[in-house]
Chains A and B, each alone.
Chain A
Amino acid sequence: MTYAETGSIGDALLRSGVSRRVLLEFAGKLMVAAPAGLALAAQWSPEAVAEEIAKARRPSVIWLHFQDCTGCTETLLRASKPDLGDLILNLISLDYHETVMAASGKQAEAALRDAMTQNAGKYICVVEGSIPTKDQGIYMKLAGRPALEVLADVAGKAAAVIAIGSCASWGGVPSAGINPTGAVGVDALLKDKPIVNVPGCPPNPYTFLGVVLQYATAGTLPALDAEKRPLFAFDRYIHDHCPRRAHFDAGRFARQFGDEGHRHGYCLYPLGCKGPITHAGCSTRHFNELPEVWPIGIGAPCVGCTERNVAFKIPIFETSAVPAPTPSAQYPEIRPETGTVSAVATGIVGAVVGALAGAAYVASKRFSKVAGDEAVPGAPAGDGGKGGKGV
C-alpha cells in the first residue's frame, strides 16, 4: 500500500488518531524555529498556524538518497515530539523513502514509478546526499542507473526540489579533499527547477519542515539567499546570535578542551570555532529537542558544516577570521571627548576680564594727552575716584 492518498493534512491526522495537542505543539515549535521569514509561521498564535497546516493538502514527497550517510533522515527521525510516525508522516505524504519504506527491490522501484506518475508536476523532490559526476557518475547507482540520471528523471518531474543537508546542497563530505568522485550538490546539476538548499550536517528538522509546509499551505517557497538557503534560518552568522558572544566580547576563552574556561562555558573561538563565518540557525534552534544540545552548547567548536568554503576545508581547530559587519557600540572611540566647561567659571572670568578692562579704560582716561605733562595724573577738576581714597 502506498501513502499517496490525497486529502488535507487535517483529515490525515484525524484518520491516524493524532491529537490536536500534538499538532499545536508542533506549530509552536515551528514558530520558534522560524521567527521571521516564513510566511506560514508568521501568524498570531500556534492555533492559527495549526489551522493553516490542517487545511493544506498533504504534499507528496519523493525522497532520494545519493552519496549520503542518512544523517539528514535521522535528524527528521530524531524528532520525537511529534515523532515521525505520529505527525510527520501525516504532515507530508512520504511516497518514496528508501530508509523508512517497507518495500525493497522491485516493489520499491514500482513505488517510485507510481509516485512520479500519479503526482507528476506536483510532488516535492527531496534530495539527500551528493551526486557523483566523475566517470559518468558510476560511483553511485540506484537500480543500475547512475545518480545523475535518477536525479534528472525524478527532479525533472517535480514541482520543487529541496536539497537537504550539505551534501545535497554543495557536495558535503564526499566532495572534501580531492573529491575523488566529483561529488556536487543538486544546484550544480539542475538549472531550471526551483531549488531550496537546506545545508547542515545534519540540518535542523524544523527548517526542512518549515519549507515543505510553506509549500504545502501556500504553494510558495520562502525567501532565499544567494546560496538558495531559506533566509529565515540562514540569514545570520552563528557568531552574531551565539549565547557565548558576551564571553568573546569580554575576552573570556576556553583555550584547551577541559580547561577552566571550557568548563565555565566560555567562548570556543581559540579552539577553532567557525561561528564567525558560518551562516546557520543552530544557536537558537537546538537539536534533539533539548535546549543547549548543539555543538557549541556542549562545548564543541562549530565546524561550519553549512558553508561550502568552511566545512571539510578549513581545519577544525584553525581559528577563523571574524568579519565584523556591525561592530558593537561598546568600543571606545578613537578620540573620546573630555573636559567640562563650567558656566559659572566662564562667567567669573568674563566678569573679571571685563572689570579689568573697564578699570584700565577709566584709568587711562585720567592720564593727560599732553606730551611732557608730568602733573599728578587725574589731578584736575577734583575727581575723587581711586586717587582720593588711595589703595
Chain B
Amino acid sequence: MARPASRATPLGVPLGVPLGAPLGVPLAPPHASVIHRWQRGVSVREVPLVTPWFLLFAGFFVVGTAIAAFRLFGGSLASFAAMTDVYAWGVWKTFNVMALTALGSSALAVGLAAWVLGRHRLHSVMRTALVTSFLFYTTALLGLLTDVGRPWNFWNLRLPWRWNTESALWEVALAMPVYCALFLLYENGPMVVEKLWNARSDRVRGWVRTWHPRIRKTYPFVVPFAYVLPIIHQSSLGGLMVLAGHKVHPLWQTDLLPLLYLVQALICGFGSVIVVLMTSCLVWRRPLDVKVLGELANLMSWTTLGWLVLRLGDVVVRGRVGDALAMDAFGVLFLAETAAVAVPALVLRSAHLRETPRALYTMALLACLGGIAYRFIPTTLAYAPGAGSTYFPAVPEIVITLGLVATVVGAFSLVVKRFAVLPAPLESWHHAVEHDSHAHPSHRSDAHGHAVHD
C-alpha cells in the first residue's frame, strides 16, 4: 500500500508532538507486533453455552424482570420499593445508573487511550471493554425505565420544544440512550460483522462484503461521537447532585462534581476492564498479558492521581478539611472512600507490581469499589443528613438490582462464547478456527484457517 514517504517514520509513530510527552508519561510503542500474548479476540469454545452458573444468573434475570413487569401492569412504585419523599431516588438511579455506568465507561476509557492517545497495544482489549460497557449501560437504562413513575411520557424526548436544556437529567435522559443504542451498538458492530462473515450463507457474506467497507469508512467519523457523548453525560451524572444543594454533605457537595464524576468514570472504566479481563482469564482458563494489563493499570493510576488532586484540592479550597478529619460517620466514610481510590493509584505506581497479577487484580477491584463508592455516596449515604429519616432498599428493589447485575454477567458469558471478544494468543485463534471447521464442514477455509470468500 502506497503511502507518502514523507509521512513515514521508522517506528511508525504518528507525526507531530509526541502525544504523551506533555503528560510526562512514556509513549507506548504502537506496533501490535510488540505484543506477545494477547493478539486478538477469540471466542470461548471449551465451555458449553448454558452452565449451572449461567442458569443462576438467568434465574435472577427472570425474577427481576417479573417483579419489574408487575409495575408496568397495574402496580405502583410503592408496592416494590422503599423509596420515600425524603429519599426519592432509591437504588436504581443511584446505583445502577450513577455507579454502575462508571464501571461501564470502559469503552470510553480504553477507547480514548487506544484511539486518541495512541496506545495501540490496547486494541486487543477494546472489544471486551465495548461489550462490558454496552451491557452495563443497557441494564442501567432498564433500571431507569423501572424507576420512573410515568414512563408513558418518555415520548417527550422526541419533542425538542419540551426539552429543558439546563437540566442535567435531561442531558442524561437524551445522551445515554442515544449513546447506548447508536454508538455503543455501532462500536460493537465489527465483532458481529466478523461472525456474520464466517457464516455459512453466501447471501449474508455478500451483504457483508457490500456494507462492511462502507461502514468502515465512517468509523473514524462516528467513533469520536462515542467519546464526546459519554463525556457529556458522565459529567451530567455528576451535575445531578449539584442541584441537591445543602442536602448533600459538604464533604461531597461541590460545583466540581461533574468533572470529578467524569474522571472517576475513566478510572472505573480502566479498573472494570482489568477486573473483567482477569476474571475471564481465571474462569475460562486463558493466559494473561501483563504488559497490556500493566498499561491499563498505569493509565488508571495516573488518572487517579489527577483525580485525587482535584478532589482533595477541592476539599481544601472549600475549607472542609475539618469535616474530613472529624472522625464522625461522614469523615470516616470520606477517608475510607479516598483510601480505596488512592491506595491502588499509589501501589500501581510500581512497575513491578503493575505486572504482578495478584496485585493488579486486588488493586483494580479496590479501585472499582472506591470509584463506585464515590459516585454512590452523595446520592444516598451522604444525602439529607440529619433528616431524621432512613432509607434502605426493599427486598424487591434489591432483587431487581441483583437481576440487572446478573444480566450483565450472564449476557457477558453468552457473548464471549459466541463472539470473538476476549483477547487470547494467536494460537487460540487457530484452534478456534479448526474447531469451527470441524463443527461446520461446509465452511471453506484457506490454509490460514480463514474462511474463503469470492
Contacts and interface: CB of A to CB of B under 8 A. Distances in A.
Given A371-B352, A389-B51, A391-B53, A364 B290 contact: no
A374 to B, nearest CB: 5
Contacts of A371: 290, 352-353, 355-356
Contacts of A335: 387-388
Nearest to B44: A390
A329 interface: no
A386 B281 contact: no
Contacts, number: 128
B51 A391 contact: yes
B357 A391 contact: no
B98 to A, nearest CB: 18
A336 B390 CA distance: 11
B86 A346 contact: no
B288 A374 contact: yes
A387 B389 contact: no
A368 B283 contact: no
A342 interface: yes
Contact of B393 (A345, A365, A377): A345
Interface in A233-254: none
A367 interface: yes
Nearest to B359: A369
Interface stretch (B6-14, B131-139, B305-313, B394-402): B394-402
Given A363-B282, A387-B282, A387-B283, A345 B37 contact: no
B46 interface: yes
Contacts of B287: 374-376
B283 A337 contact: no
B357 A377 contact: yes
Counting chain A CB atoms within 10 Å of each CB, which of B87, B352, B357 scores highest? B357
Interface in B376-411: 387-395, 397-399, 402
Contacts of A336: 388
A386 B388 contact: no
B64 to A, nearest CB: 13
Interface string A343-385: 0111011001000000010011111111111111111000000
Chain B residues touching A, range = 35 or more
B282 A366 contact: yes
B86 A338 contact: yes
B289 interface: yes
B76 interface: no
A373 B82 contact: no
B167 interface: no
A338 B87 CA distance: 9
Interface string A3-28: 00000000000000000000000000
B358 A364 contact: yes
B282 A389 contact: no
A324 interface: no
A374 B355 CA distance: 9
Interface residues of A, number: 37
B365 A364 contact: yes
Contacts of A339: 82, 84, 86-87, 389-392
B392 A342 contact: yes
B74 interface: no
A376 B398 contact: no
B361 A372 contact: no
A376 B389 contact: no
A391 B358 contact: no
Given A335-B387, A370-B356, A391 B47 contact: yes
Contacts of A341: 82, 390-392
A62 B359 CA distance: 107
A342 B281 contact: no
Contacts of B283: 386-387, 390-391
B79 interface: no
Nearest to A366: B282
A375 B52 CA distance: 26
B393 A349 contact: yes
B431 to A, nearest CB: 14
A330 interface: no
Contacts of B402: 352
Interface in B86-125: 86-87
29 contacts: A335-B387, A337-B390, A338-B84, A338-B390, A339-B390, A339-B391, A342-B392, A342-B395, A345-B398, A348-B395, A349-B393, A349-B398, A352-B398, A352-B402, A360-B365, A364-B365, A369-B356, A369-B358, A372-B290, A372-B355, A373-B357, A374-B288, A374-B290, A375-B288, A376-B286, A389-B47, A389-B52, A390-B283, A391-B47
Closest 3 CB pairs of A and B: A390-B47, A367-B357, A339-B390
Interface of B: 37, 44, 46-48, 51-54, 82, 84-87, 278-279, 281-290, 352-353, 355-362, 365, 387-395, 397-399, 402, 413
Given A338-B86, A375-B288, 15 more contacts: A339-B392, A342-B392, A369-B358, A371-B352, A373-B356, A374-B37, A375-B287, A376-B286, A377-B288, A378-B285, A379-B285, A386-B282, A389-B53, A390-B285, A391-B284
